[in-house]
Structure 1
Amino acid sequence: MGQGQADVALATLRECSRNGDWLCLKNLHLVTAWLPLLEKELNVLHPKANFRLWLTAEVHPRFPPILLQSSLKITYEAPPGLKKNLLRTYESWTPEQISKGGNLARAQSLFCLAWFHAVCQERRNYIPQGWTKFYEFSLSDLRAGFEIIDRLFEGGKIFQWEFVHGLLESAIYGGRIDNPSDLHILRSYLKQFFSARLLSSTHSGGQRRSKGGGRIFPSQISLPNSCSIMDYRSVVENLPEDDRPAFFGLPANIERSSQRIISSQVISQLRVLSRSVATGSKFDRELWSNGLSPVLNLWKKLNQGSTLIHQKVEPPTEGQKSPILSFIALEQFNAIRLVQSIHQSLAALSKVIRGTQLLTPEVQKLATALLNQECPITWQNKWEGPEEPMQYLRAVVTRALATQSWVERASRQVLLSDILDLSELFHPDTFLNALRQETARSIGCSMDSLVFVSSWRSPIAQAKLQVKVEYM
């Protein structure tokens, strides 16, 4: 299903219903707005006994629940891992497809395609470090890649790797990618796995290395010098069951980050399951007291010994000569205003629970969001932070206190000589822009002519103004 297929699908549905045929409508998650029309059509159909309708879709929050409830549901999820992915690919290919023409380079190129496809799909397990988002690389991409390689090897013509790079990057796999960083990763994979250097028959597969000197394939992989599908399957069988981050060119500790993200998602889902359906819909003093006490107690604990909730700060003036000092003054003002705004809303909520203040619509919305383990939209409008309320409160107070340190160091004129932790700021991108303005003023040039340069090892000699930062 996709754009322009709705009318064709309904016409085919009516025809199959009359004839008692089977019909499969695929990828319904792409046309959720059209599904109510499908429901109406199903209600008025008078199909023959042999008629069957198959619907396939990925999980989607807007999929009509009535359509789900009226269907027999089957959930399918392919087993994860490079090894399983490669085995599925070679099970879908016949021996004749691999050995066609007895061309060794062609058979090895197909293995590279299978490996590339598996890496692209399994890298999605490491979002956002692997890919920035989930891309729908599918079997159709693999089929299209197979057709390209098959045609380019026909007739004994000189194989042009640029065609493979261009088509896979621009039309097939790359056509699904909308992030420049992800596209750069895809381009690197294409250059790594699709080159004449890789298919040289004078070296064993385990010795093949990229231009940088690293292995192209893991040590377990040695490209067979044959066109037999069984030889390639035996190579795949030697792979470990569990993927190693090095297979994807990722650091060894990426598993820890991935497990942390998965744990957070599971905890969030458990919180959703544990909350009552009626939570926050009406005032219940006992329910609100039990559910909101952890948030109120945390806020009280975070502000013990701090003057943030009582501190008075004048709005920053435009008379500051330094863009960096102007930024710090504005950051401090916004930080204190945010803390005091949160304090006022939580204080009003506490008074309602104690019975010393009437319930207002604003307090009702605040309590509903907090009881549902969601960060109130009024807080997020002031600063877009963590979605979990208690994490949000910790982040706000931590940054507000850190801002005081930035103000103090700036007053002593030692800020730029220290190592700066950008995670302490509410708006680190604005700080970098202020640094850019400061640099332009100091060397007397336009901001547009400046280039942001970073160095991991030593100071940059040509830089007029430079800072040391951590936690970018």
Structure 2
Amino acid sequence: DIYDCLDPHTAQLPGQWDTSLNSFQKLCVLRCWRADKVPDGVLNYVIEQLGTKFVEPPPFDLLSCFKDSNTLSPLVFVLSKGSDPTKAFSEFAVKQKMDRKVRMLSLGQGQGPKAVKMIEEATQKGNWVLLQNCHLYISWLQELERICENLSGDSVHKDFRLWLTSMPCKEFPSSVLQSSVKMTNEPPKGLKANLRNAYYKLNNDLLNVTNKPFAYKKLLFGLSFFHAVVQERRLFGPMGWNIPYEFNDTDLDISKGQLGLFLDQYDEVPWKVLNFLTSYINYGGRVTDYIDLRTIDVIMKSFYNPSLLTPGYRFDKEGVFYSIDFEEENPHASYLAYIESLPLVASPGVFGMHENALIASANAETFNMFDICLSLQASDGGGGAGAGAREKFIEVTATSIFKNIQKAGQFDIEGVSLLYPVVYEESMNTVLLQECIRYNKLIEAMELTLPELLKALKGLVVMSNELEAIGNSIAINQVPGGWASVAYPSMKPLSAWVADLMDRLKFIQNWIDTGVPPVFWISGFYFPQAFLTGSLQNFARKYQYPIDTVNFNFILRTEDWTKLKTRPEDGVYIRGLFLEGARWDAAEGSISDSLPKQLYTELPVIHLSPQQHRPEVTANVYRCPVYKILSRRGTLSTTGHSTNFIMWIEVPSLRTNIINNEGKSDQEEWIRAGVAAFSSLMY
């Protein structure tokens, strides 16, 4: 009952356990069965032990911060994602009647001399200087430190103030931080707070602009809702956005201005123009991942479309969020009253997400919290009995890993190349050889460092920084950085990572011993993109087709992979992919909504069947991105491939068809839900 209840962090434990355990011990029990509720439990624990004021952020009061400052103490805005204090600063300058004496400069390469001149002039004339984005000009920060140290109360105008904005960075001068007034203002959290923030500054006059006031009010609410949604999607981690973008109020203000401008210029509402400018230029200008561009395009179209002008247009399936019928006499009050009636915490459905998305994001927050705690423990150099037990644990674990690696051993590259020579007809031989070479580099790194670590633990050799780092990682069940740098991407803890590595080596060894497998375990490849290219190459060479005219069909099989004993005539069978955000429904032959608390489900065997001049599928498929690991985010390597993204697959789906931003058939529901496939999980 406790496992399935909505608030397990406040539920009573059965029997004597509710009275015999203290609050901290109950947190440990909560971690065992509902890790997603640990952040809520920690919040309650802090309130119980320290009081409510330690969990409620104080209101942002620029005036009181200003009063705490003087001519020699800078005022530093510590930036967070999605926050931009420039607007609040400009409004404060107007209130203080200093708006004409403000000098702003965004720091970057070559801006140092301008900043120095600006500060020198301001100290004499009593101006305010705002230097933005100090973290982007790290090489100049020492000069900033020198300037601040040389400021003297006798030679500086009494009205002078130095304002700085910076993301947290370790290079920021500590002396400047110590002498400064530090402020941070995170963007409002939650859809309700975001909408309230957008409408709080408006009034009836500002809502009744343009020659189409009805359409303007409707579209402005849709735009404000879109702004809140794209910001709040960050809550869901990689399911929301592959990269957490810093959308802020400036994007909303620019889009709002363009909305009024284009409504005046066009006789009809220019939906296509507004969609393109808002999703691709104003907000999309920050979006660097092309899969996120597909997402933001779909989200924008659900807020900027002709249906928005119809009464009661819904933004979610439940009908909690909708476009209201405002009072003509007092529209501003209508919108504020509706916003105040909204729930404090929006359900994932309004973002197009499944309820499981909240569990996934809460789990990520929990594990991140514990990773920080463990990293602090690993760097603790305390002695005594605890230190001895820790060293014993490291020794036992390192010995076990070393035995496993020795048992597997390095692949005999020369022997493999003789068994599987490079031939025109079989590209898989080259793929196998390359995989063996890559895995050998990892095995070699482990075979070199593990014996040295065991010797260092016994005092036979000096414990170097590298060996100490490996020992610290083993102590907290994390993959050592030295191994990870030559390994494949993985988010698994060390114990699961070692087990996974053994399975991968076994997969490659079975291939060497028994020949090309009928079904390939795609999770076992160090570089799966080479395997996919090799599959296409085999088909192209077999039929003498140019390889750039060949593409895969995706056929999801009903058989278990163990029943497939022979390779297909053309193409390959693959297994080992997992879906997040949806599940495969074999009865329907389609992807469907996830079951409660089931975050990941395995996809069936997929037949990648090549075809020349393959026609585009026009309906009933979801273009599903496939990644190596759950973080989704990757970088382009020197080969031109992403370090994380593997390929697109077309998965059958019976939901509403749309044409995506690339002009291909797709499914809006799964795009908004952030559905993707992965070859590796976190356990």
2:137 corresponds to which of 22, 31, 35: 31
Moved more, 11-20 or 330-339: 330-339
Distance 1:463 1:128, change over 3 A: farther
Q: Distance in 1 between matches of 2:186 and 2:256?
A: 24
Identity of aligned residues (%): 23
- The counterpart of 2:285, out of the listed 175, 189, 192, is 175
- Greater strand share, 1 or 2? 2
Residue type matched to 2:262 in 1?
L
Is 1:436–2:436 an aligned residue pair? no
In structure 2, the CA distance between the partners of 1:468 and 1:314, relative to structure 1 (3 Å rule), is closer
Count matched residues.
Answer: 449
- Contact 2:411–2:436 under 8 Å retained in 1: no
How far apart, in 2, do the equivalents of 1:253 and 1:458 lie? 26
Q: Which moved more, 1:226-235 or 1:108-117?
A: 226-235
Is 1:241 equivalent to 2:344 in the alignment? Answer: yes
Partner of 1:400: 502
Post-superposition Cα deviations, 1:63-86, rounded to whole Å, max 9, x if no partner, equal: 332221221222322341111111
Instruction: Kindly indicate whether residue 256 of structure 2 is the aligned counterpart of residue 146 of structure 1.
Output: yes
Equivalent residue in structure 2 for 1:256, among 359, 381, 386: 359
> 1:204–1:222: 8 Å Cα contact kept in structure 2?
yes
> Aligned-pair distance for 1:272?
3.4
Distance 1:86 1:463 in 2: 57
Query: Which residue is 1:335 aligned to?
Result: 439
What is the match of residue 451 of structure 1?
551
2:642 corresponds to which residue? none
Sort the Cα spacing of 1:33 and 1:292 in 2 relative to 1 into closer, same or farther, 3 A.
farther
Q: What's 1:95 paired with?
A: 204
Q: 2:395 aligns with which of 296, 307, 320?
A: 296
Q: Which has the higher helix share?
A: 1
Q: After the TM superposition, which residues 365-404 of structure 1 pair with which residues of structure 2 at under 5 Å, given as runs? A: 365-371=466-472, 375-386=479-490, 391-392=493-494, 394-404=496-506
SS at match of 2:184: coil
Moved more, 116-125 or 342-351: 342-351
- State how far apart, in whole Å, the 2-side matches of 1:463 and 1:159 are: 54
Contact 2:192/2:342 (<8 A) preserved: yes
**Alpha carbons 2:135, 2:172 under 8 Å: kept:** yes
Q: 1:156 & 1:330 partners in 2: Cα distance?
A: 59
User: Which residue is equivalent to 1:159?
Assistant: 269
Q: What's the offset of the Cα at 1:329?
A: 5.1
Q: Which residue of 1 aligns with 2:638?
A: none
Task: Measure the CA separation in 1 of the matches of 2:521 and 2:283.
Answer: 38
Is 1:70 aligned to residue 70 of structure 2?
A: no
* CA contact 1:106–1:153 (8 Å) conserved in 2: yes
Sort the Cα spacing of 1:354 and 1:219 in 2 relative to 1 into closer, same or farther, 3 A. same
Distance in 2 separating the partners of 1:350 and 1:406: 29
Correspondence 1:350-365 to 2 at 5 A: 350-355=454-459, 357-359=460-462, 363-365=464-466
Which residues of structure 1 form unaligned runs of 5+?
207-214
- Partners of 1:79 and 1:152 in 2: CA distance: 29
Other structure's SS at 2:307 match: coil
Residue of structure 2 equivalent to 1:132: 242
Greater shift in the superposed pair: 406-415 or 147-156: 406-415
1:205 offset after TM fit, Å?
A: 1.9
Shift in Å at residue 145 of structure 1? Answer: 0.7
Partner Cα separation in structure 1 for residue 406 and residue 337 of structure 2:
68
CA-to-partner distance for each residue in 1:366-406, whole Å, 9 max, x for gaps?
22354266754542342144478xx2464244233343245
* Alpha-carbon distance, 1:111 to partner: 0.4
CA distance in 1: counterparts of 2:409 and 2:137, whole angstroms = 53
Gaps spanning 5+ residues in structure 2: where? 1-105, 560-567, 578-677, 679-683
Aligned-residue Cα RMSD (Å) equals 3.5
Residues 435-462 of structure 1: CA distance to partner in whole angstroms, max 9, x if unpaired?
Answer: 2233323333233222234345789xx9
TM-score of the superposition, structure 2-length normalised? 0.59
Q: Aligned equivalents of 1:254 and 1:33: distance in 2?
A: 41
So what's the TM-score if we normalise by structure 1?
A: 0.82
- Residues 127 and 258 of structure 1 are in contact (CA less than 8 Å); yes or no, is this contact kept in structure 2? yes
Q: Which piece of structure 1 moves more, 95-104 or 404-413?
A: 404-413
The letter for the 1-side match of 2:241 is W
In the aligned structure 2, how far is the partner of 1:403 from the partner of 1:447? 30
What one-letter code is carried by the residue in structure 2 that aligns with 1:134?
P
Deviates more, 1:315-324 or 1:246-255: 315-324
Match of 1:45 in 2: 151
What is the Cα deviation at residue 412 of structure 1? 4.8
